[in-house]
Amino acid sequence: MGYVVCGACSARIPPTNWNQEFALPCPMCSREVAVTVFPVALRPPKPALPERVVTGEEASCYNHAANRAVAHCDACGRFLCALCDLDAGAGGHLCPTCFERQETPALHERVNYDSVALGLVTLPMLLCWLPIVTTPAALFFAFKFWNAPSPVFPRSRWRLWLTLFIAALQVAAVIWIVAWVIPLTSGRGVTR
């Protein structure tokens, strides 16, 4: 477990002063210090490299026979080494195979806003709907969720850039229709 130091005097702040509701004085300089430490920092660190099996009586990893098992998968029961052990939250463990199969809400609740924005701007074009409602909605999603976290795997912003480009074309088309086509069809002609 690491330690936290005071920003003013660099004295170590004792763990009893961490994660308190209000700031406590530093033991050296008496300045008010509020320390928030995430729970993962309080856990003992995992070994960097897996330990090797020494005797035939030790359990080995299902995926790596030469590595000593440190946990078992809560879903399938396979033994796991330090490389294969995935934290499933609340002290649970999963192997990589069960982790891929697991329907975890954290992995599937994130919305791909870039795909929503792109769908809002292209679907009306494909189905010949007027983009009067969907173009502003697409622009809203594109700008509001520009920096939203991506789903499990990082994604580039090409969908958002394409959304902005198509939306600009649609706005230009609506302006052209309102400014040029409607006056021509209503018999008023455009004077230059």
Rounded distance, CA 51 to CA 118, Å?
48
Top-confidence residue, 166 or 130: 166
In this predicted structure, what is the pLDDT of residue 45? 65
The confidence score (pLDDT) of residue 117 equals: 84
Q: Cα–Cα distance between 89 and 69 in angstroms, integer?
A: 19
Compute the average pLDDT of residues 166-177: 84
Q: Which residue has the tokens 């796991």?
A: 80
pLDDT at 189 exceeding the cut of 60: no
User: Residue 152's pLDDT is what?
Assistant: 58
Average pLDDT, the chain: 79
Task: Summarize pLDDT for 51-91 with one digit per residue, the tens.
Answer: 888 887 889 999 998 999 988 888 888 999 988 888 777 66
**E-assigned strands of 42-119?**
71-72, 79-80, 86-87, 93-94
**Cβ(88)–Cβ(99) below 8 Å:** yes
pLDDT at 176 exceeding the cut of 70 = yes
pLDDT digits (tens, 9 = 90+) for 2-59: 678 888 898 988 888 888 888 899 989 999 999 888 776 666 666 567 888 888 788 9
Q: Is the pLDDT of residue 110 over 70?
A: no
Confidence class of residue 105 from pLDDT cuts 50, 70 and 90?
very low
Predicted TM-score (pTM) of the model is 0.35
Residue 103: band (very low, low, confident or very high) from pLDDT cuts 50, 70, 90 = low
CA separation for the pair 97, 115 (Å, rounded): 28
Q: 162 or 115: which carries more pLDDT confidence?
A: 162
- Per-residue pLDDT at 153: 62
Helices (H), the chain: 39-42, 96-101, 105-108, 113-126, 134-144, 158-176, 182-185
- Is 107 a residue whose pLDDT tops 50? no
Confidence tier at 109 by pLDDT (50, 70, 90): low
Q: How far apart, in whole angstroms, are the C-alpha atoms of residue 33 and residue 21?
A: 11
Query: Would you state the pLDDT for residue 165?
Result: 92
Give residue 77's region: left, alpha or beta (phi > 0; psi -120 to 50). left
Q: What is the DSSP secondary structure assignment for residue 179, as one 8-state letter?
A: I
